[in-house]
Chains A and B, each alone.
Chain A
Amino acid sequence: MILDGKNNKILSYAISPTGSSSKNAAKNAFEDTLNKAKLKSRDIKAIIATGYGRINIPFADKNITEISCHARGAISLFPDLKTVIDIGGQDSKVIKLDNGSPIDFLMNDKCAAGTGRFLEVMAKAMEIDLENFAPIFIKTDGKADITSTCTVFAESEIVSLIGQGVDKDKIIKGLIYSIANRITSMVERIGLEEPVCMTGGVAKNLGVVKALEENLGVKIKIPDEPQITGALGAAYLAKNIG
């Protein structure tokens, strides 16, 4: 993402899968954003890298964790926030804020259950487009209980549920609750405080958002483009060194 530091306007952004090299993915995304904004690299004052590949970006001036970046990005959109829930492809985290600064956080344990990857794997296993999960969640009454906490075992469990003739829509609703329940427990561990915002790619899935709202009993704010909140925060933090 390129941010015009003078008026805090987003000039361009790009989203691309990391693939096998975070270095190449970052380079391509950088070139893409430059092209979209019709800028040259010399026009850029400061670059912050964030996310799991942050330390392998040679052209970055500094790397900052996604914890600080998501918090900063979310605050730039909703200044009075107290809690940020971020569910990305790699992990999920809950960040507690005080006066616009992160003061505590929790991340999911090393299992992929509780992340966007979990939903992707399950969608593939069920041969259903991930985009259909939210409408199915809304229209379906009742849910299947997905007991497993491991992505691989959950996949086996789903195959078994399908084999037992359990309604696919109920399985999908069960999967969404499975992820929402894990996040709910993290939010409760850190202490729920409103206002709450959700960032990361999974925030685009309204089924997960609704399940979380129901579990937590709060309304969750969603950015227009939740997937770039971390990059937005990184760009804001770059202003400090630019």
Chain B
Amino acid sequence: MGIKDRLKTGIQKNLNQKYIKRLLGIIAKKPILYTYGSAFSSVSDKYLNIFTIESLRDAYSDNSHPVGFGSLFVPYEMLHALEITPFPPEVMAGFTAGLGIASQTIKQSASNWYSQDLCTFHRSASGALELDVFPKPDFILATNLACDAAQKSFYIYSKKYGIEKNFYLIDVPYHYSKESLKYLTGQLKNIYMDISSKTGREPDYSKFREVINLSNEFRKWAIKVNDLRKDLTEYPPYFNALNYILPFHVLSGTEKAVTLYKHMYRELKKYLYTQQEKNGSKKNPPKRILWLHLKPYYKSEIFDILKKENCIVSFEEINYVYWPELDPLKPFESLAKKMLSHFLGGKIDNRVNVILDLAREYKIDGVVLFSHWGCRQSNGGARIIKDNLKKLSIPTLVIDGDCVDRNNSSHGQIKTRMQGFLEILNSKT
């Protein structure tokens, strides 16, 4: 049994705060342990694991850095500018699935009256919170952008910690207009100032400019990676771009995100070169899939089926760089523009247009929408997305599943749907 497996087994048997904190302490001090095994197959994965663990270590350590919980779509650059350690409960919920403890955290959330039709990212996070395995936050920052559950769940989290007064909701308007930009810019500035005053972190605009520049640098490398992927017909083993949620969102504005995406670019570029050397132009190139929404974060055979049926995930909508370059001299307005530019905000047409563009740019043969339980912003548009892709003669598979709760997914059915869909794609000339 490898170190990773032993850690997992340990966690399953000993789900308590002390044990998890100790465990996180061990892997935080020696992040290389966590990367043992599969991670060495991909340089990007190795960096992903190290940076993830380092971020967790900071949140769990007793240093002077304040800790702020954030929902996925908040502008984390504001926290980095104040040198506040971000802690993303939704991403942690993904880890509970990966570590095999989600059934316990979800069970705990049910015991605490969280509704069963709530998304399991939020349920698992709430269960982990109830089990007291998260670090105590100094404040909580959420947004209504894209996700309807975060704003409510995160407020409940703030009540649990008795910090309702330190709960901030970024209200992103439905429409992008001059007025909405002004309204959102004002909100971000007020929240920044309030967090600054409550945490005792002095506003530092020179630091903010530095963070915005890093965010732009990360954006530049992410675009380079995304462009490169248009030519890839194979990926390094274990590379799965749906794992990069934390750096793409939470680490945006840090050196870590820049380093990771630089490495990812170099790794993929090298891989592309060796691939071309080895294969030339393949007689039977793989069918190219565009992946919508997220994936199961527990062990799942979905991606093995793709490989077996000679298909690759060419791109994922979640990795699309949707925002314009930020202006370091206008940080709040830039971040407001970034939030208002999100294709998951506003009308479904925004998302559909991005999907259609990506389908053309990545020469997509088929689209998979993983319809995560309770995620209404994603599931609700399924029919419209499918109908629009049909106009481009691109078939869409909608899989009803759960990214976090393994027990809420019918594996035989998911496997059959995926394989059946890929058989249809492969039968097309």
A contact set with B: CB distance below 8 Å: 52, 64-68, 90-91, 101-105, 107, 109-110
In the complex, whether B237 has a CB less than 8 A from a CB of chain A is no
Tell me, in angstroms, the Cα distance from A209 to B400 when the chains sit together.
Answer: 27
- Having A68-B420, A68-B424, one finds 5 other A-B pairs with CB under 8 Å, namely A52-B416, A66-B416, A103-B424, A105-B417, A105-B420
Flag B404-428 by CB within 8 Å of A: 1 or 0 each: 0000011011001101110110011
Tell me, in angstroms, the Cα distance from A68 to B425 when the chains sit together.
Answer: 11
Q: Are B419 and A91 closer than 8 Å at their CB atoms? A: no
Q: Are A107 and B423 closer than 8 Å at their CB atoms? A: no
**Closest approach, in angstroms, between the C-beta of B100 and any C-beta of chain A?**
21
**Closest approach, in angstroms, between the C-beta of B110 and any C-beta of chain A?**
18
Q: Are A65 and B395 closer than 8 Å at their CB atoms? A: no
Q: Are A65 and B413 closer than 8 Å at their CB atoms? A: no
Q: Are B400 and A65 closer than 8 Å at their CB atoms? A: no
Tell me, in angstroms, the Cα distance from A68 to B420 when the chains sit together.
Answer: 7
Q: Can you name the residue of chain B whose Cβ is closest to the Cβ of A66?
A: B416
A102 is contacted by which of B400, B409, B424 (Cβ under 8 Å)?
A: B424
Q: Are B427 and A65 closer than 8 Å at their CB atoms? A: no
Q: What A residues does B400 contact at CB under 8 A?
A: 109-110
Q: Are A107 and B424 closer than 8 Å at their CB atoms? A: no
Q: What A residues does B409 contact at CB under 8 A?
A: 110
Q: What A residues does B427 contact at CB under 8 A?
A: 68, 101-102
Q: Can you name the residue of chain A whose Cβ is closest to the Cβ of B426?
A: A68
Q: Are A65 and B410 closer than 8 Å at their CB atoms? A: no
Q: Are B420 and A67 closer than 8 Å at their CB atoms? A: yes
Q: What A residues does B412 contact at CB under 8 A?
A: 52, 90
Instruction: Identify whether the interface residues of A are mostly helix, strand, loop, or mixed.
Output: mixed
Tell me, in angstroms, the Cα distance from A107 to B428 when the chains sit together.
Answer: 21
**Closest approach, in angstroms, between the C-beta of A179 and any C-beta of chain B?**
18
Q: Which chain B residues in 250-274 approach chain A with CB under 8 Å? A: none
Q: What A residues does B423 contact at CB under 8 A?
A: 64-65, 67-68, 102
Q: Are B413 and A91 closer than 8 Å at their CB atoms? A: yes
Q: Which chain B residues in 381-419 approach chain A with CB under 8 Å? A: 395, 400, 409-410, 412-413, 416-417, 419
Q: What B residues does A102 contact at CB under 8 A?
A: 420, 423-424, 427
Q: What B residues does A109 contact at CB under 8 A?
A: 400, 410
Q: What B residues does A91 contact at CB under 8 A?
A: 413
Interface hub of B413, B416, B417, B427 (most chain A Cβ within 10 A):
B416
Q: Can you name the residue of chain B whose Cβ is closest to the Cβ of A110?
A: B410
**Closest approach, in angstroms, between the C-beta of B388 and any C-beta of chain A?**
15
Tell me, in angstroms, the Cα distance from A193 to B372 when the chains sit together.
Answer: 30
Q: What A residues does B421 contact at CB under 8 A?
A: 105
28 example contacts (A-B, Cβ-Cβ < 8 A) are as follows A52-B416, A65-B416, A66-B416, A66-B420, A67-B416, A67-B420, A68-B420, A68-B423, A90-B412, A91-B413, A101-B424, A101-B428, A102-B420, A102-B424, A102-B427, A103-B395, A103-B424, A104-B395, A104-B424, A105-B417, A105-B420, A105-B424, A107-B413, A107-B416, A109-B400, A110-B400, A110-B409, A110-B413
Q: What B residues does A90 contact at CB under 8 A?
A: 412
Tell me, in angstroms, the Cα distance from A64 to B413 when the chains sit together.
Answer: 14
Tell me, in angstroms, the Cα distance from A66 to B413 when the chains sit together.
Answer: 11
Interface hub of B409, B420, B423, B427 (most chain A Cβ within 10 A):
B420
Tell me, in angstroms, the Cα distance from A105 to B417 when the chains sit together.
Answer: 9
* 9 cross-chain pairs, A with B, having the tightest CB-CB distances, nearest first: A67-B420, A110-B410, A65-B420, A68-B423, A65-B419, A65-B416, A52-B412, A102-B424, A101-B427
**Closest approach, in angstroms, between the C-beta of B228 and any C-beta of chain A?**
32
Q: Are B395 and A107 closer than 8 Å at their CB atoms? A: no
Q: Can you name the residue of chain A whose Cβ is closest to the Cβ of B398?
A: A106
Q: Can you name the residue of chain A whose Cβ is closest to the Cβ of B422?
A: A65
Tell me, in angstroms, the Cα distance from A80 to B342 when the chains sit together.
Answer: 46
Tell me, in angstroms, the Cα distance from A64 to B416 when the chains sit together.
Answer: 9
Q: What B residues does A65 contact at CB under 8 A?
A: 416, 419-420, 423
Tell me, in angstroms, the Cα distance from A101 to B417 when the chains sit together.
Answer: 16
Tell me, in angstroms, the Cα distance from A64 to B421 when the chains sit together.
Answer: 11
Q: What A residues does B416 contact at CB under 8 A?
A: 52, 65-67, 107
Tell me, in angstroms, the Cα distance from A107 to B371 when the chains sit together.
Answer: 14
Flag B211-248 by CB within 8 Å of A: 1 or 0 each: 00000000000000000000000000000000000000
Q: Which chain B residues in 17-52 approach chain A with CB under 8 Å? A: none
Tell me, in angstroms, the Cα distance from A195 to B417 when the chains sit together.
Answer: 24
Q: Can you name the residue of chain A whose Cβ is closest to the Cβ of B416?
A: A65
Q: Can you name the residue of chain A whose Cβ is closest to the Cβ of B418?
A: A65
Tell me, in angstroms, the Cα distance from A130 to B395 when the chains sit together.
Answer: 38
Q: What B residues does A68 contact at CB under 8 A?
A: 420, 423-424, 427
Q: Can you name the residue of chain A whose Cβ is closest to the Cβ of B401?
A: A110
Q: Can you name the residue of chain B whose Cβ is closest to the Cβ of A51?
A: B416
Q: Which chain B residues in 38-80 approach chain A with CB under 8 Å? A: none
Q: What B residues does A64 contact at CB under 8 A?
A: 423
Q: Can you name the residue of chain B whose Cβ is closest to the Cβ of A90?
A: B412
**Closest approach, in angstroms, between the C-beta of B315 and any C-beta of chain A?**
22
**Closest approach, in angstroms, between the C-beta of B209 and any C-beta of chain A?**
51
Tell me, in angstroms, the Cα distance from A109 to B423 when the chains sit together.
Answer: 21
